[in-house]
Amino acid sequence: RLCSGAAAPQKLPLSCHKVPLFQKLLGKTFLASLPGKCHLPSGLRSGQPRAGTFKHMKALTVLVWEWPSKQVPDFSRDVCLEQYGIAGCRLSTERRLLSQADVVVFLHTTLPWGRDKLPRDRPHGQSWVWVSLESPTNTRALAGWNHTFNWVMTYRRDSDIFMPYGKLVPNQSATVSIPTKTNLVSWVISNYHRTQKRAEVYKNLSRYLHVNIYGKAAKKPLCKDCLLPTTSKSKFYLAFENSIHQDYITEKLWRNSLLAGTVPVVLGPPRANYEQFIPADSFIHVDDFSSLADLATFLKTMNSSRYRQFFAWQKGYSVKLYTDWRERICTICATYPHLPQGRLYPDLQGWFNT
């Protein structure tokens, strides 16, 4: 039997155990698996394999069906080994290599309309990977892709290949560094829709305090190199996700806030989910307060001593961003020896919406 259940594919036997929530001590695992789920060793699930660790009987050929940007990287060199320490991994976008590819990667945003637009047959042993960084709310037309993909690669920790937007990595030489602050709260927003939860929260919160807004939606776009210097001037940053789903924690937290050196005020999955990625005392959750008026009062009246406590994580960790698609795709080779073989996702939409 290839599949187990309507939504989740059958997994190969792995050692199953629960991992505790974020541990503040260096050297502890800080990404927890979903309760009762099997998980890969932390070095694999983190998307940051150890240099030189992964070697195969032969070099794996990973074909990216369509690169996510117009500028396709030069794959004539061994990118995975030179940049990320992953040996035996050949990346390509040349479709003529389809018959030779061990893995074919399909990004949902580049998928054609209709299964008939993809190769009808695949060589024996070739695996297809469905990749998405978007949430179920912003992902359409999944029903037509049942029984098509062997593996999924998403921001969800229960994916075959875990692809987070960022993470905290141990850094014993790190020190607490808080940029100079000139304002209380900021928010960078590109797409503003009144029906979104974050729009409602912002509207009501702004009744009690001033929010400095930037971005395309505010008609104050920031250049690529201007974003972090701008948000770093605020004591707090509204890390509001565009939709609320388990593990959907994006660059709004990792880059715009934590990397910038400001305290994130988050709107997204429950606090417990955030605590599986970052320390409990490193952020403020909207749900921590019975009203937005109470949240506003908390932000406005916080003294400097209390504020500094939110940066205690910097004593042992630094922020690692995942923004390079080459690194993301190379991760497939790192996890390949541990991935289940010979099964398909019977209900991709059902799995993703669960």
Spatial contact of 152 and 345, defined as CB atoms under 8 Å apart: yes
User: Which amino acid makes up residue 256?
Assistant: N
CA distance 86 to 337: 13
Determine the 3-state secondary structure of 239 from DSSP: strand
Spatial contact of 235 and 183, defined as CB atoms under 8 Å apart: yes
Query: Could you give the strand order of the β-sheet that contains 103-107, starting from the edge strand earlier in sequence?
Result: 89-92, 60-64, 103-107, 127-131, 151-154, 161-162
Check residue 281 and report its DSSP letter. Answer: G
Spatial contact of 63 and 94, defined as CB atoms under 8 Å apart: yes
CA distance 163 to 142: 19
Torsion of CA 110, 115, 121, 123, to 10 degrees: 40
End-to-end CA distance of the chain: 22
Angle, alpha carbons 281-174-332 (nearest 5°)? 85
- As annotated, the active-site residues are 134
* Residue reference for tokens 């922020």: 319
Q: Which helix (H) or strand (E) holds 228?
A: helix 227-231
The first and second tokens of residue 176, run together, are: 């607490």
* Residue reference for tokens 């990346």: 91
